[in-house]
Amino acid sequence: DADTDADTDADTDADTDADPVNLLVDSGFEGLKDLGTWTVYPTELTNWAIVSTGETLYKSKDTYTAPEGKSSLKVWGQWSGYENETPIYQEVVAAEGQSFTISGSVWMHSADPITADHTYAYLSMKYFDDSYNYYGSTDSDWLDAKDDENTWVSLSATGTVPKGATKVQAVIEFWQC
């Protein structure tokens, strides 16, 4: 079993000379029972949950404490018997040459750590055009079996929208091999 929580800072900021602006709606998953404005792909995936401070953690008597606010997103592998990924995202309109940053914190509990090789969580920005042709991605480092348990890890990635792309998806992703 592996799980990962992406906390309240999963932000996508447009790069301007002004202070960064969080373009995501409810980037902290506060007060949600479902994903709200976030989308899981494919939509029938159910290997995620919104967890709140005070909830008992899986396989433990410990309770969860969000690093900011009261809630976080928890994502775990699909246990489908084959490689799988679980992207949860929001999408914003973008223009060629615009810079965006996605940042957030991830964590794994010692009672339910990532133990398998090639299983990890990360943040990403994926670039598409209006017909959803894929133009690549900019990815953060990973949280994987080599990382410390019970320790929040800050992740971020900054990228520039490539020629032809008109949309950026801010993605919290879990990959299970």
**Pseudo-torsion of CA 6, 3, 66, 168, nearest 10°?**
10
- Kindly report the CA angle at 36 between 56 and 95, in degrees rounded to 5? 125
Are the C-beta atoms of residues 129 and 167 closer than 8 Å to each other? yes
> How do the pLDDT tens digits run along the chain, 177 residues long?
233 344 434 444 444 456 788 899 988 888 777 898 999 999 999 999 999 999 999 999 999 999 889 999 999 999 988 999 999 999 999 999 999 999 999 999 999 999 998 999 999 999 999 999 999 999 999 999 999 999 999 999 999 999 999 999 999 999 998
Q: What is the predicted pLDDT for the residue at 126?
A: 98
**Model pTM score:** 0.86
Position 154 scores a pLDDT of 95
Output the CA angle 11-54-58, nearest 5 degrees.
85
Q: How far apart are CA 16 and CA 2, in angstroms?
A: 38
The CA-CA-CA angle for residues 168, 147, 11, to 5°, reads 25
What is the spatial distance between Cα 76 and Cα 18, in angstroms, rounded to a whole number?
37
